[in-house]
Structure 1
Amino acid sequence: MIAVTCRNGEHFSVDPMSIERVETDPDTVIHLVDGTKYVVVQTFDDLLLDIRDHRAAVTVAQKRLAGGVAEIADHASHVKRTTIRLERRQYRRDEPGTPPSDTTPGRTED
């Protein structure tokens, strides 16, 4: 969620995934997918930075949950490029914890 402030001073949060478009004419107007419009104090550029930072933070969280390695900086727009590490380990079904064999399952040696 990103924090926004309406022209009337009301503070609230908006889910960036529900934003359809943002326009400036001359005020910044947020159009949501459900047809709701909000005139906000934030500038167009500040709003786009907030959306980008939110999406970067979500991407990092998804990578962490998927078992990858990701780093997040103090500010999400400065996320460093990192290598995502995925490990797949194969074990025999009959012996839990044993490393994979060099043979392919279902294949016999001639």
Structure 2
Amino acid sequence: MIVVTRLNDSQFAINPDLIERIHANPDTTLVMVDGANFIVTETIDEVIERIAHYRAHVISLAYDPDPDEAPRGPRRI
């Protein structure tokens, strides 16, 4: 999940895998796969950076779920 901010400064978490597209004219609008729209204060670049960071974090957990343990490579499910 990524945390974004509504125009009234309240924050909420959203699943970035369900974002279909992002518009900016002038406010940044997240359009979800189910058609829902969320207007946020973050720029398109900030949202994309948060999505990239989230996905990198998910991948890193697959390689090292417990940072205190020795690295083992990817886990098999």
Task: Mark yes or no: TM-score above 0.5.
Answer: yes
Aligned residues: 69
Letter in 2 for 1:54: Y
DSSP-derived class of the 2:57 partner: helix
Greater RCO, 1 or 2 (C-alpha within 8 Å, sep 6+): 2
Identity of paired residues, percent?
Answer: 35
- Give the alignment's TM-score, normalised by structure 2: 0.80
Question: Unpaired runs of 5+ in structure 1?
Answer: 70-85, 87-110
In the alignment, structure 2 segments of 5+ residues that lack a partner are 66-71
CA distance in 1, matches of 2:33, 2:54: 18
TM-score by length of 1: 0.57
| CA distance in 1 between partners of 2:35 and 2:62 (Å) | 29
Q: CA-atom RMSD, angstroms?
A: 1.8
Larger Rg: 1
Task: Give the strand-richer structure, 1 or 2.
Answer: 2
